A and B are shown apart, each in its own frame.
Chain A
Amino acid sequence: MALVHLADGADLAGFRRAIRRLVAAGAAPEDVIWRSGEDGDLFGAGSADFVGTDAADFVDGGEAGPAPPLALPRVVGAAVEAVVCHRDPERYALLHRLIWRVLHGERTVLEARSDPLVHRLAGMQQAIRRDIHKMHAFLRFRRVTAESGERFVAWFEPEHFILEAVADFFADRFPGFAWSILTPVGSLHWDGAALDFGPPGTRGAAMPDDSVETAWRAYYEATFNPARLNPTMMRSEMPKKYWRNLPETQAIPHLIRTAPSRVTAMLEKEAAMPLKRNPDKAVAALPDQAPKSLAELNRIIAASEPLVPGATRAVLGEGPVGAALAFVGEQPGDQEDLQGRPFVGPAGQLLDRAMAEAGIDRTEAYVTNAVKHFKFEQRGKRRIHQKPTAGEVRHYRWWLMRELDFVHPRLVVALGATAVLALAGKALPIARCRGEARLEGRPGFITVHPSYLLRLPDEDARHAAYAAFLDDLRHVRAILERRPAS
């Protein structure tokens, strides 16, 4: 017989050490008695990890040396980690039986969920999960101000040894302030940087009532619907054992007692005439919320959050309302973002040049972008242009359409694929659709984006492409002259 004595609580490290040794020694589950701290120190063996008939085999670091590590399927490891947290004194013995079976020809025993041992362990795991879940849910912090500053303190009484199992959850959730969780079996402290486990705490009767608790109780009471009273359901989810540490539960008896009379009062009360005058004017004004002018629309755009990453500010369209010609580009670039004006960077300068050569006066045209913000990725000091996705282009579409409604140009020139996507509502190949086009009912013209000309690597191609772009612009001008303003 071997007697294994582990520390109080969830002694995962101790169990690991012991089981390696037991497996190495070939000890069968029925030959081992497991004791842990909470069972009392029956054999006075507090200092040694293991005692028993073959004590020499079991003393850590004894003649046998450290036992070799044990390779177990991952699910078994997970089951061990969970089950050691259980309060059942039998837990270590059950785990030993499980590991014994896994090592003796039943590697997949955990998959046979209907096996009595597996079933029992699954039940224990579920109890642990539930306990952890309830601790996540029913723990309440109170704000305490001490000399060292503000701290949030909670008292909780878990059913099992789960304090270490919940530590990461609370550290992840509340990293920005100092807090402590006190339980009857240990405590957990966070100072904003590190977790610290400490000795058991006490219920802390002296903890002052936090003023937020009053508000919380008020919320709890107000959110209860007396017409749906169902205390059985409430108790099955929030058993009474948790009530004494929850500030809101004090309200429960009163809420239950008064519920029937509140409902009766509601049902008996006749529908009353409204005391207030009917807000006819406000109701009539309700549907009328669209921006009334380009300036108003621009204010909205400028105040809105970018729908693309990057961007310091919105770059608005420029040019006279009523312009005969509107140019729609892709999105502002680095220079545009810095200056807050469209088409002022290298591509804009190229567009200016081409417009001048084609005999189009830029000051009389309206120039804007499909996407109102510069989407970029910061790499060192450089801000690298990122192409907006189709989804992002659609995000901005509503603004672009309103904008064009206000400007009301006779012809919209789509510069490049992104502008086409925004204006036509779908992707179209530029090469094939170049030239005059209807863009969702608007008279339009499709051509390349000037930045495309800048990107061409070889000089000849660049010249040819520029000439073609210039042709397009001349064509645009010809269309306008052919179709004078009505």
Chain B
Amino acid sequence: MDQTFVARLRILADAAKYDASCASSGAPKRVAGANGLGSTTGGAICHAYTPDGRCISLLKILMTNYCLYDCAYCINRRSSNVRRARFTVEEVVKLTVAFYKRNCIEGLFLSSGIVRSADHTMEQMMLVARRLRHEENFAGYIHLKAIPEASPWLIEQAGLWADRLSINLELAAERSLERLAPEKNGGSIRAAMGQMHERIAQAQEEKRHFAPAGQSTQMIVGADDATDAAVLGASATLYRAYALKRVYYSAFSPIPEASRALPVKPPPLQRENRLYQADWLLRCYGFTVEEIAAGGEGGMLDLEIDPKLAWALKHRDRFPVDVNRADKEMLLRVPGLGTRAVESILRTRRHRTLRLDDIGRLTSGLKRLLPFLIAADHRPVRLTDRLDLRRRLLQPARQLSLF
């Protein structure tokens, strides 16, 4: 691979790294035919981790970082002075296959700046997916970033080849979108999501292949003044209305060539982390947005403690719960117990009465759950009601080291 090719790869990978989505799971299990390449296993495989702690599971690149849009938070906006490059359909296919054959990736996550027209851009991406499937007999994972303004038939063609389609909502509030992304339109984004949702649901019903891993989206946090509650509210609506598989949160990160319309200071990364935790509570633990928001102040999540613990501390009347008797819903609300620990508890409980030792073998969060749980040999007594409980449960502050 020659030098200019590698130079373009650097530009187009750099341009794509602000998309938080990295999942390679959810596709049906499949393996390549005799002369094919690739498989999907159901679970995700992360092939490497960069020093920012994020994984590389897919080759995440842009087809081009030329863009006619001018979204303030985006390094690729037309008014940015970033270096530009583009790949041809052929080159993206070749690169994906080369990396895949060396077992570096699970597949491709392809996005693009908008050039010429939304349809032209979408078509280029669709063609990459089609060629991978048709000509390379590629059975690995493909995620395409759909262009909401593209014609519906193009997005539908893309769904034939891709495992997952996504459209980034970017900003929860319509007026932020108007201010920071003048060419984008919340209405057309939602219309495209609705169209995809309809097609995915129909295909599932008719047992056809259409984006079997569903659709996802991303919201940028900290570029506008939207509160965590507003962001989570938007997520809950998306999960409900379009059955999205995931909403990704991306803390707005300083970019080279930043726009003046943006805040100078990026939000703490912890905020993003708390949003992800809250998102899990929404999807897997039966919490509502109001309950999660009630754990924090003024619509913002507590940055010091996780949202489940924050909720528990504000609802101490519901605790302690008896690990040997409580129902699943309530056990899921105990800080320190995850879905898997709760499953194990429910199974084990059928055979024996649980003591603290037992719980210690089922979860690693024992210390955190002591004030909230009753076991055969443990009662928190007044611990649950202590005023300094929050401080006692806080992780002691520690110096982050760089090496």
Known A215-B5, A222-B10: A114·B55 in contact at CB below 8 Å = no
Query: Whole-angstrom distance between the alpha carbons of A233 and B272 in the complex?
Result: 15
Complex contact A137–B102 (CB within 8 A): no
Question: Is B277 an interface position by the 8 A CB rule?
Answer: no
Query: Whole-angstrom distance between the alpha carbons of A368 and B18 in the complex?
Result: 46
Query: Whole-angstrom distance between the alpha carbons of A283 and B184 in the complex?
Result: 12
Stretch from A88-96, A251-259, A323-331, A347-355 at the B interface? A251-259
Which of B80, B151, B266, B400 has a CB less than 8 Å from the CB of A398?
B151
Complex contact B80–A222 (CB within 8 A): no
Which of B208, B257, B358 has a CB less than 8 Å from the CB of A389?
B208
Known A114-B358, A286-B114: A398·B9 in contact at CB below 8 Å = no
Complex contact A222–B255 (CB within 8 A): no
Question: Is A172 an interface position by the 8 A CB rule?
Answer: yes
Which of A177, A231, A263, A278 has a CB less than 8 Å from the CB of B78?
A278
For this complex, into which size category does the number of interface residues on chain A fall? 35 or more
Q: How far is the CB of B190 from chain A (nearest CB, A)?
A: 17
Residues of B within 8 A of A226 (CB): 52
Considering the complex, give the chain A residue whose CB is closest to the CB of B202.
A391
Interface centre among B13, B51, B81, B266, by most chain A C-beta atoms within 10 angstroms, is B51
Complex contact B101–A229 (CB within 8 A): no
Name A's interface SS: helix
44-92 of chain B: CB within 8 A of chain A? 45-56, 59-61, 68, 78-81
Q: How far is the CB of B308 from chain A (nearest CB, A)?
A: 21
Considering the complex, give the chain B residue whose CB is closest to the CB of A234.
B49
Considering the complex, give the chain B residue whose CB is closest to the CB of A271.
B260
Considering the complex, give the chain A residue whose CB is closest to the CB of B347.
A111
Residues of A within 8 A of B303 (CB): none
Question: Is B103 an interface position by the 8 A CB rule?
Answer: yes
Question: Is A141 an interface position by the 8 A CB rule?
Answer: yes
Complex contact B98–A215 (CB within 8 A): yes
Q: How far is the CB of A71 from chain B (nearest CB, A)?
A: 22
Residues of B within 8 A of A113 (CB): 344, 347-348, 361-362
Residues of A within 8 A of B13 (CB): 218-219, 222-223
Residues of A within 8 A of B11 (CB): 222
Which of B78, B102, B402 has a CB less than 8 Å from the CB of A212?
B102
Residues of B within 8 A of A213 (CB): 102
Question: Is B236 an interface position by the 8 A CB rule?
Answer: no
Complex contact B6–A215 (CB within 8 A): yes
Which of A176, A230, A269 has a CB less than 8 Å from the CB of B37?
A176
Query: Whole-angstrom distance between the alpha carbons of A337 and B17 in the complex?
Result: 45
Residues of A within 8 A of B233 (CB): none
Complex contact B183–A216 (CB within 8 A): no
Q: How far is the CB of A264 from chain B (nearest CB, A)?
A: 10
Q: How far is the CB of B326 from chain A (nearest CB, A)?
A: 17
Question: Is B329 an interface position by the 8 A CB rule?
Answer: no
Q: How far is the CB of A453 from chain B (nearest CB, A)?
A: 28
Contact with A along B257-275 (1 / 0, CB 8 A): 1111000101001000000
Question: Is A376 an interface position by the 8 A CB rule?
Answer: no
Residues of B within 8 A of A173 (CB): 31-32, 37-39, 103
274-314 of chain A: CB within 8 A of chain B? 274-276, 278-279, 282-283, 285-290, 300, 304-305, 307
Which of B33, B103, B151 has a CB less than 8 Å from the CB of A289?
B151
Considering the complex, give the chain B residue whose CB is closest to the CB of A236.
B53
Interface centre among B45, B102, B264, B269, by most chain A C-beta atoms within 10 angstroms, is B102
Residues of B in contact, count (CB < 8 Å): 99
Question: Is B1 an interface position by the 8 A CB rule?
Answer: yes
Residues of A within 8 A of B80 (CB): 274
Known A141-B103, A218-B6, A224-B52: A176·B35 in contact at CB below 8 Å = yes
Q: How far is the CB of B353 from chain A (nearest CB, A)?
A: 10
Question: Is B350 an interface position by the 8 A CB rule?
Answer: yes
Q: How far is the CB of B191 from chain A (nearest CB, A)?
A: 13
Complex contact B202–A172 (CB within 8 A): no
Complex contact B53–A272 (CB within 8 A): no
Which of B17, B45, B104 has a CB less than 8 Å from the CB of A140?
B104
Question: Is B368 an interface position by the 8 A CB rule?
Answer: no
Query: Whole-angstrom distance between the alpha carbons of A399 and B156 in the complex?
Result: 12
Known A112-B348, A223-B16: A266·B255 in contact at CB below 8 Å = yes
Contact with B along A194-231 (1 / 0, CB 8 A): 00000000000000001111111011111111111111
Query: Whole-angstrom distance between the alpha carbons of A483 and B378 in the complex?
Result: 87
Query: Whole-angstrom distance between the alpha carbons of A289 and B117 in the complex?
Result: 6
Complex contact B153–A395 (CB within 8 A): yes
378-421 of chain A: CB within 8 A of chain B? 389-392, 394-395, 398-399
Known A212-B99, A215-B98, A216-B102: A389·B206 in contact at CB below 8 Å = yes
Considering the complex, give the chain A residue whose CB is closest to the CB of B61.
A219
Which of B14, B183, B402 has a CB less than 8 Å from the CB of A286?
B183
Residues of B within 8 A of A108 (CB): 351
Which of A210, A225, A255, A271 has a CB less than 8 Å from the CB of B259?
A271
Considering the complex, give the chain B residue whose CB is closest to the CB of A211.
B1
Which of A216, A225, A260, A288 has a CB less than 8 Å from the CB of B104?
A216
Query: Whole-angstrom distance between the alpha carbons of A213 and B104 in the complex?
Result: 10
Known A174-B101, A212-B102, A305-B157: A259·B259 in contact at CB below 8 Å = no
Known A114-B359, A176-B34: A137·B45 in contact at CB below 8 Å = yes
Which of B118, B151, B156, B403 has a CB less than 8 Å from the CB of A307?
B156
Question: Is A154 an interface position by the 8 A CB rule?
Answer: yes
Q: How far is the CB of B119 from chain A (nearest CB, A)?
A: 5
Question: Is A246 an interface position by the 8 A CB rule?
Answer: yes
Query: Whole-angstrom distance between the alpha carbons of A321 and B54 in the complex?
Result: 56
Residues of A within 8 A of B52 (CB): 224-226, 228-230, 233-234
Supply 7 further A-B pairs (C-beta < 8 A) apart from A138-B48, A174-B101.
A169-B39, A172-B31, A227-B254, A234-B50, A237-B55, A289-B117, A391-B210
- B residues sitting closer than 8 Å to A (CB atoms) are 1, 5-6, 9-11, 13-14, 16-18, 31-39, 41, 45-56, 59-61, 68, 78-81, 95, 98-99, 101-104, 114, 116-120, 130, 137, 149, 151-153, 156-157, 160, 183, 198-199, 202-203, 205-206, 208, 210, 253-260, 264, 266, 269, 344, 347-348, 350-352, 354, 357-359, 361-362, 400-403
Give me 22 A-to-B residue pairs in the complex whose CB atoms sit less than 8 angstroms apart, sorted by A's number.
Answer: A113-B362, A119-B361, A143-B102, A172-B31, A173-B32, A175-B34, A215-B98, A215-B99, A216-B99, A221-B10, A227-B253, A232-B401, A237-B49, A263-B254, A266-B254, A271-B257, A274-B80, A286-B118, A287-B149, A289-B151, A392-B206, A395-B153
